[in-house]
Structure 1
Amino acid sequence: MKETELRRLLAANLLCAGSIVLTALVPALFLDGFSVLGTHLTWLCVCSVCVSVLNVTLCLILKPSPSSKRSSLSNKISRFLKCCIYFFMSCILFHAIIVLYGAPLIESVTETFLFAVLLSTFTTLQCLCLLGPNIQAWIRVFSRNG
């Protein structure tokens, strides 16, 4: 990788880390009685939204992947819908994995699903921003011999 790309990647990761720290501090200014432990559902939502907005904004600004030759509006809409479906599928998959590792299924389904959304935000959303909904690219990146 070029040195400029490494600097951009470092800056993007530092911004993501900074957004996580800010999600623990800033909501306390706007919400009465906010604490990460006391209102953890609110914090999970705020953290997921902040990291998602930051990832998508950085993706649009830095443009890490070259634009495809087909740039029609219908292609962009179908690509966006595929990305949304992949993100939702990853949330469901993470939710199932968390439940298999012992999280209560019925008693705290909201907490478990929001935690799955947070995990998907940190993992799948960044990959969707970089690779898009191209299954072949995902296989090449994540396979052992790719």
Structure 2
Amino acid sequence: MKEAEIRRLLAANLLCVFSVVLTAVVPAFFWDGFTVLGTHLTWLCVCSVCVGTLNIILHLVVKPNLTPKRSSFAQKISRFLKCCIYFFISCILFHVITVLYGAPLIESVTETFLFAVLLSTFTTLQCLCMLGPNIQVWIRVFSKNG
């Protein structure tokens, strides 16, 4: 990796950390009685939306995967819909994994699913922004011999 790419990656990750800290501090100024523990469902939603929005904005600004060929509007819509489907599948998978590790299935389904969305936002969304919805690229990046 080039030094400039490492700096951009570091800056992007620092912005993500900064956005998480802001989601714990800023809502308290606008909402009476807001605490991360007391209103944890709202905080999970706000944190997921802020980090997801930041990742998408960084992807649009940095444009890491420029393709040499031009794509049509229909291909862009198809790619976007695939990314949405993959993100939803990752939310379901994280939800199942969280339940298998002992999270309550029936009593706290909202909390568990919002936690899964937060995990997907931090992991899958960044990979979707960088790699796109191409399964072969994902396998090549995340496999042992890739």
Q: Return the offset for 1:68.
A: 5.4
RMSD of aligned residue pairs (Cα, Å) = 0.8
- Where does the alignment leave 5 or more consecutive residues of structure 1 unmatched? none
Could you say which residue in structure 1 is the equivalent of 2:53?
A: 53
Q: Return the offset for 1:106.
A: 0.4
Distance (whole Å) between structure 2 residues aligned to residue 31 and residue 137 of structure 1:
43
Could you say which residue in structure 1 is the equivalent of 2:82?
A: 82
* Pairs within 5 Å for 1:110-121: 110-121=110-121
Could you say which residue in structure 2 is the equivalent of 1:28?
A: 28
Q: Return the offset for 1:67.
A: 2.9
Distance (whole Å) between structure 1 residues aligned to residue 102 and residue 134 of structure 2:
33
Distance (whole Å) between structure 2 residues aligned to residue 68 and residue 111 of structure 1:
43
Q: Indicate yes or no: 2:18 matched with 1:8.
A: no
Could you say which residue in structure 2 is the equivalent of 1:127?
A: 127
Structure-1-length-normalised TM-score:
0.98
Q: Return the offset for 1:70.
A: 3.8
Distance (whole Å) between structure 1 residues aligned to residue 30 and residue 76 of structure 2:
36
Aligned-partner residue type, residue 58 of structure 1: L
Deviating runs (4+, > 4 A) in structure 1?
Answer: none
Structure-2-length-normalised TM-score:
0.98
Deviations 1:28-57 (Å, cap 9, x if unpaired)?
A: 111110000000000000000000000000
Distance (whole Å) between structure 1 residues aligned to residue 5 and residue 64 of structure 2:
9
1:42–1:72 Cα change, 3 Å: same
Could you say which residue in structure 2 is the equivalent of 1:144?
A: 144
